[in-house]
Amino acid sequence: MDAWKNIMTSDFTFVHAADIHLDSSLSGLASRDEEFSALARGATRRAFINIVDLAIREGAAIVLISGDLYDGKWKDQSTGQFAVAQLARLSRAGIRTCIVFGNHDAESRVSRHLALPSLVHRFDNRKCETLALEDLGLVIHGRSYKDAATTDDLAATYNPPAPDAFNIAMLHTALDGHPGHASYAPCTLDRLRAAGHQYWALGHVHERVVRSEHPHVVYPGNSQGRNIRETGVKGATVVRVRDGVVRAVEHHACDEVRWARTEFDGSNARDMGDLLGGVSAALADAVKGIADRPTAARVTVKASGALRRSLLADQEWFGGEVRGQASMLSDGLWIESIRVEAGVDSPGAALLPEIAELLASAGGDPDCGRALLSSVAPLLEKLPADEQEGELAPLLAAARAGDTSSLLAAALAAVEARLVGAGD
Ligand SMILES: [Mn+2]
């Protein structure tokens, strides 16, 4: 790396993307609702087009793709042809592209590739490769996956940073673990921070996360949310380097449809109108700032007592009401699904302190527990031993295990609810 002595880094901008998952099918509502599915079809491809447009618009010198460009083995050649056509647009604009492959497009899953345009570099999977772009004073290190389930610490095999240059290291990794993501190419954040590279361009985690600044360790997140687990704005990260230092890290939306979740606790709702008003306000809040794309939202409603019973008794009608509220907010808002959960029964103000005290003391009384257990024993004998479904399942399991404290707590809550008339 002697060639780097006396070389000044120049100012440049790059686009960092990952987890594009071309031609991955969107699931859930995207397969159930005809209208939404028409909007979602081809969304991963359009997101990639949007990344290319972004790079051209921003005058980027380089585009980095940190793994999972492909979702897996191509269904047919058109997936590869589409990718080549977009990479060619970048090449024609004089923009370089660097690609490492991750678990989804490891050699073991996607082994045949089409010839790539001139300015595209695909990193090797047997060892770390280092690419020097002398005109920019930029050095890029990277290594692709050979096997989908790569459990070695690939970061440990990376070449050291070149002196007098801006060093980017591209890696598909879960770091030391991330909920919902397989622990591939494990390594620690401290290890990456200490390695001396100025920017770690990571992929694999589908949420946008900046794990460190100076040095930067960044996940741009995936470019298109594909199901209700991948919520919010998805896209790519634009990074501006001035005088060899990262000056700006900006996330840009590249997605075509979005997913959102909202929860409304209607335990204290007075009536259905009150509950629906609350759901509508919660929905409006959940999609604030993201509703410039067609959005599918999951609504979870907590309700108790009579209100909950009427929701459960006619879920189709309630679904219609919630969808009605959604269409009043925006014609680009779909309801992915509606979940009704048990709310907290309102404690009411009517419980006399003396009675409350009595109930509390019963909770700690072993005689009470034994009496309760013996009174439910005949019932337990009549029920099938493997009853695991339904609301009462945890309680039945507690009774079978002789867990009197759980039984007592539930019984006392029921007594209290009766006394204050909550829920009826
Ligand atoms: Mn991925």
pLDDT exceeds cutoff 80 at 325:
yes
Region of residue 2 (left: phi > 0; alpha: psi -120 to 50; beta: else):
alpha
Q: Which two tokens stand for residue 378?
A: 């005949």
CA–centroid distance, residue 103 to ligand 1 (Å): 7
> Among 276-280, 353-357, 380-384, 392-396, which is the least confidently predicted range?
353-357
Q: From CA 376, how far away is CA 400, in angstroms rounded? A: 10
Q: What is the pLDDT of residue 386?
A: 66
- Residue 20 Cα to ligand 1 midpoint, Å, equals 7
Quick one: pLDDT band at residue 349, thresholds 50, 70, 90?
A: very low
CA of 161 relative to ligand 1 center, distance in Å: 26
CA distance 138 to 125: 21
Percent of the chain predicted with pLDDT > 70: 91
Q: How far is the CA of 18 from the centre of ligand 1 (A)?
A: 7
Q: 342 C-alpha vs ligand 1 centroid, how far in Å?
A: 35
Nearest to 342 by CA among 390, 400, 404, 376: 390
Degrees (nearest 5) of the Cα angle 361, 364, 365?
85
Cα 19 to ligand 1 centre (Å): 4
Q: Output the DSSP codes for 78-112.
A: HHHHHHHHHHHHHHHTT-EEEEE--STT-TTT---
Q: What is the DSSP string of 245-268?
A: EEEEEEEEE--SSEEEEEEEE-TT
Average pLDDT over residues 337-346: 85
How far apart are alpha carbons 61 and 234 in whole angstroms? Answer: 22
Return the C-alpha torsion angle 227, 211, 86, 182, nearest 10: -50
- For the residues 13-26, what does the mean pLDDT come to? 95
CA of 204 to the centre of ligand 1 (A): 5
Give the residue, 417 or 383, on which the prediction is more confident.
383
What is the rounded CA–CA span in Å between residue 234 and residue 26? Answer: 14
Q: How far is the CA of 202 from the centre of ligand 1 (A)?
A: 11
- Which residues are paired to 245 by β-bridges? 242
Distance 205 CA to ligand 1 centre (A): 7
Q: CB within 5 A of ion ligand 1: which residues?
A: 19, 68
Q: Encoding tokens for residue 230?
A: 């991948």
Question: Cα of 116 to ligand 1 centre, how many Å?
Answer: 22
Q: How far is the CA of 179 from the centre of ligand 1 (A)?
A: 13
Task: To the nearest 10°, report the CA torsion of 118, 121, 125, 127.
Answer: 120
Q: How far is the CA of 409 from the centre of ligand 1 (A)?
A: 45
CA of 220 to the centre of ligand 1 (A): 11
* Residue entry with tokens 């709310």: 343
> For position 372, what pLDDT does the model report?
81
Quote the ligand 1 centre to 396 CA distance (angstroms).
41
Q: Compute the distance between CA of residue 221 and CA of residue 199 in angstroms, rounded to an integer.
A: 16
Q: Are 219 and 277 in contact (CB under 8 A)?
A: no
> HSE-up of 202 (CA within 13 Å, CB side)?
30
- Strands in 164-229 per DSSP E: 166-172, 199-203, 209-212, 216-219
Cβ count within 10 A of residue 400: 14
> 147: helix, coil or strand?
coil
Distance from the alpha carbon of residue 171 to the mean position of ligand 1, in angstroms:
12
Residue 395 has pLDDT above 80, yes or no: no
User: How far does the centroid of ligand 1 lie from the alpha carbon of residue 24, in Å?
Assistant: 10
Q: Which domains does the chain carry?
A: 2-253 (3.60.21.10), 258-342 (no CATH), 353-420 (no CATH)
Ligand 1 centroid–CA 404 distance in Å is: 47
Is residue 348 very low, low, confident or very high in pLDDT (cuts 50, 70, 90)? very low
- Provide the β-strand partners of residue 169: 141, 200
Q: With bands split at pLDDT 50, 70 and 90, how would you rate the model's confidence at 2?
A: very low
The sheet with strand 245-253 has its strands ordered as: 120-122, 96-100, 62-66, 12-17, 235-242, 245-253
Share of the chain above pLDDT 90, in %: 68
- How high is the pLDDT of residue 352? 62
Distance 206 CA to ligand 1 centre (A): 6
Q: How far is the CA of 67 from the centre of ligand 1 (A)?
A: 7
- Which tens digits make up the pLDDT trace of 64-80? 999 999 999 998 999 99
Calculate helix-pair angle for 305-313, 315-329, nearest 10 degrees: 100
- CA 104 to ligand 1 center in whole angstroms: 7
Tell how far the Cα of 66 is from the centroid of ligand 1, in angstroms.
Answer: 9
Distance 52 CA to ligand 1 centre (A): 19
Q: Give me the sheet containing 138-142, strands edge to edge.
A: 129-133, 138-142, 166-172, 199-203, 216-219, 209-212
What's the whole-number mean pLDDT along residues 238-261?
Answer: 96
69 C-alpha to ligand 1 centroid (Å): 8
Q: How far is the CA of 293 from the centre of ligand 1 (A)?
A: 22
The chain-wide mean pLDDT, for the chain, equals 89
Q: 384 CA to middle of ligand 1, Å?
A: 44
Distance CA 180, CA 198 (A): 28
CA of 183 to the centre of ligand 1 (A): 12
